[in-house]
Amino acid sequence: MAILVTGGSGYIGSHTCVELLNAGYDIVVVDNLTNSRLESLRRVREITGRDFKFYKVDLLDQEALIRVFAQNKIDAVIHFAGHKSVGESVRLPLWYYHNNITGTLVLCKVMEKYGVKNIVFSSSATVYGLQEKVPIAEELPLSATNPYGRTKLMIEEMLRDLYLSDSNWSIALLRYFNPAGAHNSGLIGEDPNGIPNNLMPYITQVAAGRLKELQVFGNDYETIDGTGVRDFIHVVDLALGHLSALTKVMATTGVEAYNLGTGRGYSVLELVKAFETVTGMRIPYTITSRRPGDIGICYANPSKAERELGWVAEKGIEEMCSDSWRWQSNNPNGYLEEAKIAAGVGAAPSPRTLSRSNEDFFVYIGR
């Protein structure tokens, strides 16, 4: 029995791979590595001591994906692969619709071809649009305010239609709030390309001296200190939520959406203060104007996931800060250094952990 993890070398994907391997699952990872590095998977193996298969595959390449299913007995899929920058999606909508939606269509067709009808989909709280009613529950009306959010909404609708056409499908739609933090080993973490869009990696890069100061996007919201309030959830809690959803989809049929959040909101300045207290680092900041498209307050009602998945977030904001800082301070340039080495810029990584097959799309992560 193997779980296929698409986008498994990314931030949430790699953390979920760690928890899947630790829980005894066999996994197969596919990723096109356009927004992540193979080094993250080498470290997943280092953390867990377990070997697994990786295929460098773009979901748009149906023939390559068919080969993965033909070579492995897949029982369920956790689908992370997709572009996720709100700003980039506004600039490049066609690229986002093609990559995220067509990629998911190809995945579902190949799953159907091989009789695999269990899927956990990486959705987002962004499908609630400019929802001002908090805490946010799953039955609230859905809308999207940008192409990225619309791809998540459209994929949710596609998957609902798929179930209506064939009730043998079992589908969990996981709506993430604000993922933050890192595995406590300091070996894996969030490694955004370029200047971070999201708050926590921006803060850690200021602390690491890569960025000068934080711009706080507005302090005129109706919140405790005027700055935006969000439901920050530790990425390990998020990963464990995927394992709980996987257990459910393997045991039942149907399609259900679940909020993965803590149910607790923190303001931007509360997060900055928590980070400074926990790490002893100072985070200089300037208050600037609101970021277009932002809402003031957003946090989850996570009771449905607790009730139906038996899952609840356990890690607090302090742990998110300390784990994020451990990752960033241990890896000032993210995975880049190791990736340069692996690309032959320096000494090759130890062959025992990164052996390549004779096919250029398959890499065995292990001895």
Query: One-letter amino acid identity for 296?
Result: G
Beta carbon nearer to ligand WQD, 170 or 223: 223
Residue from 14, 178, 205, 244 touching ligand WQD (CB under 6 A): that is 178
Instruction: Decide if 40 contacts 31 (C-beta within 8 A).
Output: no
Among 52, 55, 96, 176, indicate the residue that binds ligand WQD (CB under 6 A). Answer: 176
Footprint of ligand WQD on residues 128-157 (CB under 6 A)? none
The number of beta carbons lying within 10 Å of the beta carbon of residue 274 is 19
Q: How many binding residues for ligand WQD (CB under 6 A)? A: 19
Cβ neighbourhood burial of 115 (10 Å; 0-12, 13-18, 19+): exposed
Can residue 215 be called a binding residue for ligand WQD (CB under 6 A)? yes
CA distance 336 to 345: 11
How many helices and strands, by DSSP H and E, does the chain display?
A: 13, 16
Query: How far are the Cα atoms of 15, 45, 114, 187, 333 from residue 48, in angstroms, in the given order?
Result: 11, 5, 29, 11, 23
Closest by CA position to 365, among listed 10, 33, 13, 39: 39
3-state secondary structure of 136: strand
> For residues 296 and 334, which CB has a smaller minimum distance to ligand WQD in the complex?
296
Of the pair 127, 365, the CB lying nearest ligand WQD is at 127
- Among the listed ranges 195-203, 205-213, 237-245, 358-366, the one in contact with ligand WQD (CB under 6 A) is 195-203
According to the binding rule CB under 6 A, does residue 126 interact with ligand WQD? yes
The interface mask with ligand WQD, positions 252-271, x = CB under 6 A, is ----------------x---
Q: Decide whether 11 or 335 has the Cβ nearer to ligand WQD.
A: 11
148 belongs to the catalytic site: yes
CA of 180: how far to CAs of 36, 44, 118, 142, 156, in Å? 17, 18, 27, 24, 24
| CA 154 vs CA 169, 265, 298, 339: distances in Å | 18, 27, 21, 35
Report if residue 207 touches ligand WQD, rule: CB under 6 A: no
Residue from 72, 143, 198, 253 that binds ligand WQD (CB under 6 A)? 198
Q: How near is the Cβ of 84 to ligand WQD at its closest, in Å?
A: 5
**CB of residue 123 to ligand WQD, shortest distance in Å:** 8
Mapped onto helix, strand or coil, the DSSP state of residue 29 is strand
As measured in angstroms, the least distance from the Cβ of 227 to ligand WQD is 7
Task: Count Cβ atoms within 10 A of the Cβ of residue 350 and give its class: 0-12 exposed, 13-18 middle, 19 or more buried.
Answer: exposed
Task: Kindly state the tokens that stand for 196.
Answer: 């971070």
Stretch that binds ligand WQD, among 1-9, 60-68, 95-103, 214-222 (CB under 6 A): 214-222
Q: Which region among 59-67, 193-201, 235-243, 346-354 touches ligand WQD (by CB under 6 A)?
A: 193-201
DSSP string, 31-82: E--SSS-THHHHHHHHHH---EEEEE--TT-HHHHHHHHHHS-EEEEEE--S
Among 62, 197, 253, 353, binds ligand WQD (CB under 6 A): 197
Please tell me whether residue 273 binds ligand WQD under the rule CB under 6 A.
Answer: no
Binds ligand WQD by CB under 6 A, chosen from 5, 68, 76, 86: 86
Rule CB under 6 A: say whether 234 interacts with ligand WQD: no
Minimum CB distance to ligand WQD, residue 199 (Å): 4
Give the distance from CA 193 to its chain's centroid.
14
Nearer to ligand WQD, 110 or 153 (CB): 153
Report whether 327 contacts 189 (CB < 8 A).
Answer: yes
Residues 295-334 that bind ligand WQD (CB under 6 A): none
Closest distance to ligand WQD from the beta carbon of 147 (Å): 12
Which is catalytic among the residues 128, 148, 221, 299? 148
Whether the Cβ atoms of residue 265 and residue 231 lie closer than 8 Å to each other: yes
- For ligand WQD, the closer CB: 169 or 181: 181
What are the distances in angstroms from CA 109 to CA 112, 205, 259? 5, 41, 27
- Catalytically active residues, by annotation: 148
Chain residues that interact with ligand WQD, rule: CB under 6 A? 84, 86, 124, 126, 176, 178, 197-199, 202, 214-217, 228, 230, 268, 291, 294
